[in-house]
Chains A and B, each alone.
Chain A
């Protein structure tokens, strides 16, 4: 029986706590008597018969006709699926998407459906490579569809591939993939790594264009969202749901398939990363010492390759299909079951170790903008109820924050860092002055469409993602980061955790309460 999440009150006997530092980690001693550490629940048992569960979900959908009844010869069927940003780290084969897509295709074949397109729902993310697509959908599906041009990636900059469906009552434009909009049935294959994923966000974001996205990927929406992980207090989600209604009203027929995963995040050699430090055995301690000291001597590029070759053993804990909203309610409950940890009260200082990966640097570099996004966008938002850190409190992250960018994946990030952040870190100012220019830059568009680049506007979205965190905290400190890069972000560099606490004392006094969010594995604090 997996143990639930746990909040450890740090005392004098508490061992040092593991902090991620990108492609490495360190052990940090937290002050006794006023610090606590939040540990994720242990991984739930995966489904025993995953393929059986998928088939059951397709045949017994929620608030929807069974999938076979929706399939008929001569129909246009489109299967859209989540892209490389999920799950994290990428899972061992077979990927959930492969299992679900194969099950859907089997039913489609039984029904005599032969007009089937598979679309990676990239939104403005980078295109996936052939290897990444093969990993997601499996070789059998890839070989059957890709060579005939029936498996492809959503292109948000191809006007011929987009269809304008109208506006929400709030005047938000809804423009999505034309093939998806024109199909007799759109099946969306989702992976819910966190509660933020799924629902109408899958289609209204994943298959849309800048014209649509700009209505909810903006500073106002992000600052008004409490948090991304709580759909009902998220303006981001409310906007996506309104757009979903426009899709329904326009006749787009969606069959949503959502799945949840357990938090079995690291393979055996890295097992100590998921364990609570006081439960480390001799082998865990030896693994930590060996790996952390070896990584210190390893060139960054090689260390990055090592970590990005990790395939997580996480597995499916639930799968449900049917009407989008009804399915998402069940999915969200299943996500909470795995990730929620009850936490009493807020803290003066929230500490977080930034790991090597986030949704936007799979097989890539965690550049400084993504460090900010991971810290203030994701880990800060891992709450339900209230933020873990008090308003006006301090966030301390640990990460090397190298001034380093993947030139193929993140070309506009380089310009954003060099030009925009050198002038302002205010999301509202940059939004007004620079966003449109980056979004409409022909070179970025070209690279997004033909290479493997995130869209020109994407670094803005990453910055907006952290807007609420920035607004909420009075100081952000990065321990061990490249000093110039940290300053460019508008944050304060510190060389050690003790230095960071000293710096934070200006804001929160000399005996602040400290909370460390011990993730990954993923957890969400239910702050009371």
Chain B
């Protein structure tokens, strides 16, 4: 079968990092990602199923890996060579369409669940991610044992599988995983604002993840006032469509937040600010900006994977700002006190917000260099989500019509 594989070749990672400064397609050409022909993965035993990929999205974390920009933090949490692709809609041998909750959690790895009914992402000890029987891998798409969505077939544990509603297109279904990430981030805001009548939440960045967070905020956080810094016109209009109250250019976000909360500006910082700020960009500048516009004792949630950054934390110290990462999903505590699985919420949200429209382009695996280049320049090229389409042409036409 065809598969895109990432190998641990330090020289190629270095080359990719250098080439990414020129273009992502150059990084894809010289980097660790190669299109290979390999045997389908061997079955892993009871509870495991072979999934045939239909669509598989390209995520920011995939691009970081391909471009050699991923942190060494992951060195012990991935296993090479691996096939990327964790945003996947596929089908089982019996034709059932499924999406994958990609975290390779306790159930998939044969470890006791941290609590009854735990989702793959639940639990406060990550030892299982690096211990046998599976090779290390935080999730599908970074684990040699399971493979990933950028190939014809991969393996998924039954704990990872979610059925796709019959009336949902593949394009919509491939957005369930990123939607779940956005909803998880949105719900992470809740503890900080539960006592606030009209909380103000700022979102910096409106790529796929930022938009999914906006949808999550609007759908699940009561009375929230959402202020968004979005760079490109299509991102701005989608942010509005998903329920943002105010959408401005990223450099205008601080002033927009100030106008909403009615505070002062002291130097580069707001005297007050947003109750919570979601950083959906993930670099030094964006983190610094978020710290500047979040109120004292407010919370900054890092949604974009930051890797190494340089940030002046004096303001964080003085303002007692909390900073938290938001990686993935699992079981959520809802504002009404109930518990829900993030993927269940995501399936509802994708349908409600017609998120299939976020899939801007699809490519066959053979054109992976173009696909990577498109995904890396999605904003500039007016795109949101770029995905690989592994469906037979006939099914593709059926889906599109």
Asked whether, in the complex, the Cβ of A446 is within 8 Å of the Cβ of B255, the reply is: no
How many whole Å from A418's CB to the nearest CB in chain B?
5
Binary contact track A433-474/B, C-beta < 8 Å → 1, others 0:
000010001110010000000000000000000000000000
Closest B residue to A434 using CB positions: B259
B377 within 8 A of A: no
A158 within 8 A of B: no
B158 within 8 A of A: no
Asked whether, in the complex, the Cβ of A419 is within 8 Å of the Cβ of B256, the reply is: yes
A415 within 8 A of B: yes
Give A395-419 interface residues, CB cut-off 8 Å to B.
Answer: 411, 414-415, 418-419
Binary contact track A363-383/B, C-beta < 8 Å → 1, others 0:
000000000000000000000
B263 within 8 A of A: yes
Q: List 10 A-B contacts (CB under 8 A).
A: A414-B255, A415-B259, A418-B252, A418-B256, A419-B248, A422-B248, A441-B262, A442-B262, A442-B264, A446-B264
B258 within 8 A of A: yes
Q: Whole-angstrom distance between the alpha carbons of A419 and B271 in the complex?
A: 20
Give B256-272 interface residues, CB cut-off 8 Å to A.
Answer: 256, 258-259, 262-265, 271
Partner of B264, one of A414, A415, A437, A443: A443
A441: which B residues are within 8 A, CB to CB? 259, 262
A443: which B residues are within 8 A, CB to CB? 258, 262-265, 271
* Size of A's binding interface in residues, CB under 8 A: 11
The interface residues of chain A, by DSSP majority, are classed as helix
Give B138-156 interface residues, CB cut-off 8 Å to A.
Answer: none
How many whole Å from B257's CB to the nearest CB in chain A?
11
B252: which A residues are within 8 A, CB to CB? 418
* Size of B's binding interface in residues, CB under 8 A: 12
**Shortest Cβ-Cβ A-B pairs, 8 listed:** A443-B264, A418-B252, A415-B255, A415-B259, A418-B255, A446-B264, A419-B259, A418-B248
The interface residues of chain B, by DSSP majority, are classed as mixed
Binary contact track B251-293/A, C-beta < 8 Å → 1, others 0:
0100110110011110000010000000000000000000000
Q: Whole-angstrom distance between the alpha carbons of A399 and B315 in the complex?
A: 41
How many whole Å from B266's CB to the nearest CB in chain A?
10
Give B311-336 interface residues, CB cut-off 8 Å to A.
Answer: none
How many whole Å from B274's CB to the nearest CB in chain A?
16
B262: which A residues are within 8 A, CB to CB? 441-443
Q: Whole-angstrom distance between the alpha carbons of A425 and B352 in the complex?
A: 35
A415: which B residues are within 8 A, CB to CB? 255, 259
B263: which A residues are within 8 A, CB to CB? 443
How many whole Å from B227's CB to the nearest CB in chain A?
11
Q: Whole-angstrom distance between the alpha carbons of A422 and B256 in the complex?
A: 12
Most buried by A among B249, B259, B262, B263: B259
Q: Whole-angstrom distance between the alpha carbons of A441 and B249 in the complex?
A: 22
13 further A-B pairs in the complex, CB-CB below 8 A; given A411-B265, A422-B248: A414-B255, A418-B248, A418-B249, A418-B252, A418-B255, A418-B256, A419-B255, A419-B256, A419-B259, A443-B258, A443-B262, A443-B264, A446-B264
Closest B residue to A446 using CB positions: B264
B255: which A residues are within 8 A, CB to CB? 414-415, 418-419
Q: Whole-angstrom distance between the alpha carbons of A411 and B254 in the complex?
A: 13
How many whole Å from B94's CB to the nearest CB in chain A?
53
A418: which B residues are within 8 A, CB to CB? 248-249, 252, 255-256
Q: Whole-angstrom distance between the alpha carbons of A350 and B75 in the complex?
A: 69
B271: which A residues are within 8 A, CB to CB? 443
Q: Whole-angstrom distance between the alpha carbons of A441 and B263 in the complex?
A: 8
Q: Whole-angstrom distance between the alpha carbons of A443 and B255 in the complex?
A: 11
Give B299-315 interface residues, CB cut-off 8 Å to A.
Answer: none
Binary contact track A105-124/B, C-beta < 8 Å → 1, others 0:
00000000000000000000
A419: which B residues are within 8 A, CB to CB? 248, 255-256, 259
Q: Whole-angstrom distance between the alpha carbons of A98 and B255 in the complex?
A: 40
Q: Whole-angstrom distance between the alpha carbons of A437 and B258 in the complex?
A: 12
Q: Whole-angstrom distance between the alpha carbons of A449 and B265 in the complex?
A: 15
Q: Whole-angstrom distance between the alpha carbons of A443 and B272 in the complex?
A: 11
How many whole Å from B246's CB to the nearest CB in chain A?
8
How many whole Å from A233's CB to the nearest CB in chain B?
38
Closest B residue to A419 using CB positions: B259
How many whole Å from A368's CB to the nearest CB in chain B?
15
Closest B residue to A442 using CB positions: B262
B259: which A residues are within 8 A, CB to CB? 415, 419, 437, 441
Q: Whole-angstrom distance between the alpha carbons of A381 and B263 in the complex?
A: 38
Q: Whole-angstrom distance between the alpha carbons of A437 and B259 in the complex?
A: 9
Closest A residue to B263 using CB positions: A443
Give B228-265 interface residues, CB cut-off 8 Å to A.
Answer: 248-249, 252, 255-256, 258-259, 262-265
Q: Whole-angstrom distance between the alpha carbons of A443 and B257 in the complex?
A: 13
